[in-house]
Structure 1
Amino acid sequence: MTRGLTLFNLLTVVVAVVLDQAIKAVVVATMPLHSAIEILPFLALFHARNTGIAFSMFAGLGDVGLSLLAAAVLAVVLFLWWKTPAGRKLTHFGLAIIVGGAIGNLIDRTRLGYVVDYVYFHTPAFDFAVFNLADAFITVGAVIILLDEFVLAGMGRKQAAEKHGD
């Protein structure tokens, strides 16, 4: 990685962690647990605690087990990030926001023993899990990486093949 790309990636991670932790702090300070503030007919702020990982999976592993699992996943993502060519800037951005989100949730898990969640999408017929900005960073980062890998990089390979007459 180039120095500029490394600095941009680190800044992206720091901004993601700070935003995540700041919003969680405001939710905890201003909303009682399990209280809701309706924003739109399908969107509410809802103060919740997630003792598992995404969608409360693996809640039975306990704090230490979940923290170790999260740290292992973070280590794998960091390794993949390190191996990603510098030219894949969109993938680097996706990995940076994934790392920022993972660190934000890992901070909660190790400090509190649970993750603070607060975004609640719902309709009369459908309830989606309560999540937070860190979860959104992880999800959006994964989508960005998939888009870059399977759509944009594929288009680049196709254009290169056409240019060389393959």
Structure 2
Amino acid sequence: MAATTRTARGRAASNKSRSGTPLLWLAFAALVVVLDQFFKIVIVRSFDYGESRPVTGFFNLVLVYNKGAAFSFLADAGGWQRWFFTGLGLAVGAFIVWLLFRHAGQRLFSLAVSLVLGGAIGNVIDRIVYGHVVDFLDFHLRGYHWPAFNVADCAITVGAVLLIVDEFRRVRRH
């Protein structure tokens, strides 16, 4: 029995080292945070609030603030939402770190939750430092503007899509 346990542990360790470690995925999440914060700092230093600069016929750079969550949900709630969304982001971040340590060998899953983690932490930093999230990517078509967003929001969205793809692949295998 002891030999079987050692062999199983050896295989698990071998799979983990081939497929990635939690530290690799945490480093990837940190890269997302750095990129997100870099672009936000550039925009905050280069734009006045509400200023918009056209880049293409369907895309502008703009400086706007979001005190709420996605699509400005609860933006006018009176201030408590800042700390609620900060706490929620930190709780989700802690849960994702736990998931990464449990499932680091699952590449697509780990990539997906690393993107979500990096995006969540990027927006938490904004809430702590500025009291709101800095948004600057503004897509529009025929007079309709999608709500402005940022690199962190992109990472969260792509991560969520990859989680769905990962789940579909897992279901199809079984």
Aligned to 2:139: 121
Q: Say how many residue pairs are matched.
A: 155
Distance (Å, rounded) in 2 between the aligned partners of 1:78 and 1:8: 12
Distance (Å, rounded) in 2 between the aligned partners of 1:156 and 1:87: 17
- The Cα RMSD (Å) is 1.8
Greater CA radius of gyration, 1 or 2? 2
Distance (Å, rounded) in 2 between the aligned partners of 1:87 and 1:72: 23
- Aligned residue for 1:40, secondary structure, equals coil
Aligned to 2:63: 47
Deviation at 1:125, TM superposition (A): 4.4
Aligned to 2:74: 58
Q: Percent of aligned positions with the same letter in both sequences?
A: 35
Preserved contact between residue 21 and residue 105 of structure 2 (Cα < 8 Å): no
1:110 is aligned to 2:128:
yes
1:156 is aligned to 2:164:
no
The answer for unaligned runs of 5 or more in structure 1 is 158-166
Q: Which whole-Å deviations, capped at 9, do the CAs of 1:25-60 have from their partners, x for residues lacking one?
A: 000001111111111111111111010011111221
1:17 is aligned to 2:36:
no
| Deviation beyond 4 Å, 4+ runs, structure 1 | none
Pairing of 1:23-38 with structure 2 (within 5 A): 23-38=39-54
Letter aligned with residue 165 of structure 2 = L
Deviation at 1:80, TM superposition (A): 3.8
Deviation at 1:72, TM superposition (A): 2.6
- Aligned residue for 2:138, secondary structure, equals strand
Deviation at 1:17, TM superposition (A): 0.5
Preserved contact between residue 59 and residue 138 of structure 2 (Cα < 8 Å): yes
**TM-score of the superposed pair, with normalisation by structure 2:** 0.81
Pairing partner for 1:131 from 139, 142, 149? 149
Letter aligned with residue 153 of structure 1 = R
Preserved contact between residue 65 and residue 132 of structure 2 (Cα < 8 Å): yes
Q: Which whole-Å deviations, capped at 9, do the CAs of 1:58-83 have from their partners, x for residues lacking one?
A: 22143222212222333333344444
Q: Which whole-Å deviations, capped at 9, do the CAs of 1:68-119 have from their partners, x for residues lacking one?
A: 22223333333444443x4420110011011001000000001110010000
Distance (Å, rounded) in 2 between the aligned partners of 1:154 and 1:99: 24
